[in-house]
Amino acid sequence: MLRSIIFDMDGVLVDSMPSHADAWIAVSKEIGAKVSREDVYEIEGANHILGIQWLFQKAGKQVEPHLYEEIKRKKVDFFSANAHITPFNGMFECLRDLKQHFSLALVTGSDRYTVDNIMGDFFPDVFDTIVCGEDVHYGKPFPDPYLKAVELLAVEKEECMVVENAPMGVESAKRAGLFCVGLPTYVPPDKLSAADLVLDDHPALYEYLGKLVPSNN
């Protein structure tokens, strides 16, 4: 029986990845890496450690350990100062209805500061558990973020499902042994083919989730 639904944040709850991509692009210029928004969408879901490693690989350089915090701070500062974030239409209402029947969790590669601000602005008191990028050493595509969410929810894997919109997020969920629904917000549907089910768009997601709500009959 389904007891818990776990959501990714960027691209599932809020339309934010273009702003994240612009922040990574701004940082990339400082280290000599050339990246596009489409490049960043491919690694969506990674925490800052993996994101920074990826940038340095693009630049053909080795990242020095002492640079991680500095680069992370620059990326977060740029995002905070320039981001344009909006919740997807209907998402809050969908979560509000689901919360009456399921425990809800959020699993994201974003940092706690950013997540707290977005949750406070758009989804206050919705989630029972939140796992952010710094809460695990190995972020997506490793299974650790979703395994931590299952542990915090105190449910069995068979009692959970995940909603993800990024290839690395889908891989993380499947490696954790969870049923995963793919939502192709920023990438083509075939990039999410590892998911158990790939939906067309947010209206299709709302319809699917609505059918999971137990009938009063």
Confidence of residue 43 (pLDDT cuts 50, 70, 90): confident
- Confidence check: pLDDT of 25 > 70: yes
- Confidence check: pLDDT of 217 > 50: no
Q: Please state the domain count of the chain.
A: 2
Assess whether 98 and 163 both reside in one domain: yes
Among residues 82, 103, 132, the one where a domain terminates is 82
Q: What percent of the chain has pLDDT over 70?
A: 99
Assess whether 52 and 132 both reside in one domain: no
Q: What is the CATH number of the domain that holds 196?
A: 3.40.50.1000
- Confidence check: pLDDT of 94 > 90: yes
State the pLDDT at residue 46: 80
State the pLDDT at residue 212: 94
> Is residue 216 in some structural domain?
no
The domain containing residue 167 runs over which residues?
Answer: 4-16+85-210
Compute the mean pLDDT over every residue in the chain, rounded to the nearest whole number: 93
SS3 label, residue 68: helix
Q: What is the CATH number of the domain that holds 65?
A: 1.10.150.240
| Each residue's pLDDT tens digit, 146-174 | 999 999 999 999 999 999 999 999 999 99
> Is residue 215 in some structural domain?
no
Give CA–CA dist 157/151, Å, rounded.
9
Q: What is the pTM of this model?
A: 0.88
Q: Enumerate residues 6+ apart whose C-beta is below 8 A from 21.
A: 36, 37, 40, 41
Assess whether 37 and 103 both reside in one domain: no
Q: Please spell the DSSP secondary structure of 9-54, one letter per residue.
A: SBTTTEE-HHHHHHHHHHHHHHHT----HHHHHHTTT--HHHHHHH
Among residues 62, 82, 102, the one where a domain terminates is 82
State the pLDDT at residue 153: 97
Average pLDDT estimate for 112-124: 94
Confidence of residue 216 (pLDDT cuts 50, 70, 90): low
**Strand 86-87 vs strand 14-15: parallel, antiparallel, or unpaired?**
antiparallel
Assess whether 137 and 204 both reside in one domain: yes
Assess whether 179 and 191 both reside in one domain: yes
